[in-house]
A = this chain, B = another copy of it.
Amino acid sequence: MRGISRRHIVAGAAVATAGTVFAPRAVSPAMAAAPAAGKQAPGYYRYKVGSIEVTVVTDGVNRFKFADDHVTNKSRSEVNAALAAAYLEQDFMTTPYNPVVVNTGAKLVVIDTGTSEANFERSKGAGGQFQANLKAAGIDRNAVDTVVISHFHGDHINGLLAPDNKLAFPNAEILVPAGEWKYFMDDGEMSRAPAGRMQEVFKNLRRVFDALGRKVTPYEAGKEVAPGITAVATPGHTPGHMSHIVASGSDKVYVQADVTHVPWLFARHPDWHAFYDQDGTLAEQTRRKVYDMLAADRMLVQGFHYAFPGLAYVEKTATGYREIPVPWSPVI
């Protein structure tokens, strides 16, 4: 890695001719720089909500070519125009996944679990990072008291399972939305669901929950799932989809799950229906209601599919909403 290169000599010459009127410091002979690190910083971020400590722990991203009907009521070229407006790569979806860990002082709670460690290799390290980043954040998965699931899509539940197919949080109670459990565990609903992706959703969640012996605790909207964490019904994306308000003192944050998917498409354009919004019309109604409230109340939102760390305010625009990321704080 070390040695004199032609680039070095040229660079040295450039500096030497740069109007040097003072003698350069005596430095060692030109050598290659220290080796590149090649590795991203660990992906976690902490903030307080009153006396509660929140740690956003990213699971990373998946990147895939989007299908023509990815947004069911918009054309590929309209989606590409929105990606260009967000300075993002066209024809591809890069989807971040951001579970959060809430330390209420009484309970250590994980909200949603990411795509699972199995996704790490599949995504060439871009996704499936949740457990590695938890470790980097100094959070012991064995100390997690409660896992709260927002809805039953794979990127929220697959991380419930460790590679050995056992519970990734061995000492945790698993709380699931009662409406999700009722709908998706109903074999009649499964038999009536369309072939293809919807059948896959049913199959995948059975794979996960069967591996856990179906040992879960359903919860209803309006109830505290842990001290300071209240469930809110936000249906449409899935029938029993839940969001969660974390509150302490006068502080609160709205942990939205998939009220919008990536904000650069679906907050900017609340009328756009993604194929993974099971009931597009209801999802849009929920989205507008929640985002109108967030904007009116100047309330913080924590977005599962926002760019890490995903904490933002929301304001109305001509076509929908824009998230204003909260500046990174170097202390909590």
Q: Which residues of A come within 8 Å of B, CB atoms?
A: 5, 7-8, 10-11, 14-15, 17-25, 27-28, 30-34, 36-46, 53, 55, 58, 60-61, 86-88, 94, 96, 103-109, 124-127, 129, 136-140, 143, 145, 171-175, 178, 214-220, 223-227, 298, 307-309, 313, 324-332
Contacts and interface: CB of A to CB of B under 8 A. Distances in A.
B307 A327 contact: yes
Contact of A41 (B8, B45, B87): B45
Contacts of A96: 327-328, 330
Nearest to A109: B33
B332 A38 contact: yes
B32 A106 contact: yes
Nearest to A21: B218
Contacts of A40: 45-46, 329-332
A105 B217 contact: no
Given A5-B106, A38-B53, A331-B60, A25 B217 contact: yes
Contacts of A308: 327-328, 330
A171 to B, nearest CB: 7
Number of copies of chain A assembled together? 2
Please give me the 5 A-B residue pairs with the lowest Cβ-Cβ distance, nearest first: A307-B327, A60-B330, A33-B108, A308-B328, A34-B143
Nearest to A328: B308
Contacts of A19: 178, 218-220
A137 B42 CA distance: 10
B36 A215 contact: no
B36 A103 contact: yes
Given A11-B224, A178-B19, A332 B39 contact: yes
Given A18-B219, A21-B218, A218-B18, A37 B129 contact: no
A161 B224 CA distance: 52
A34 B332 contact: no
Contact of A331 (B126, B138, B139): B126
Given A105-B32, A224-B11, A42 B42 contact: yes
Contacts of A313: 87
A94 B313 CA distance: 18
A217 B45 contact: no
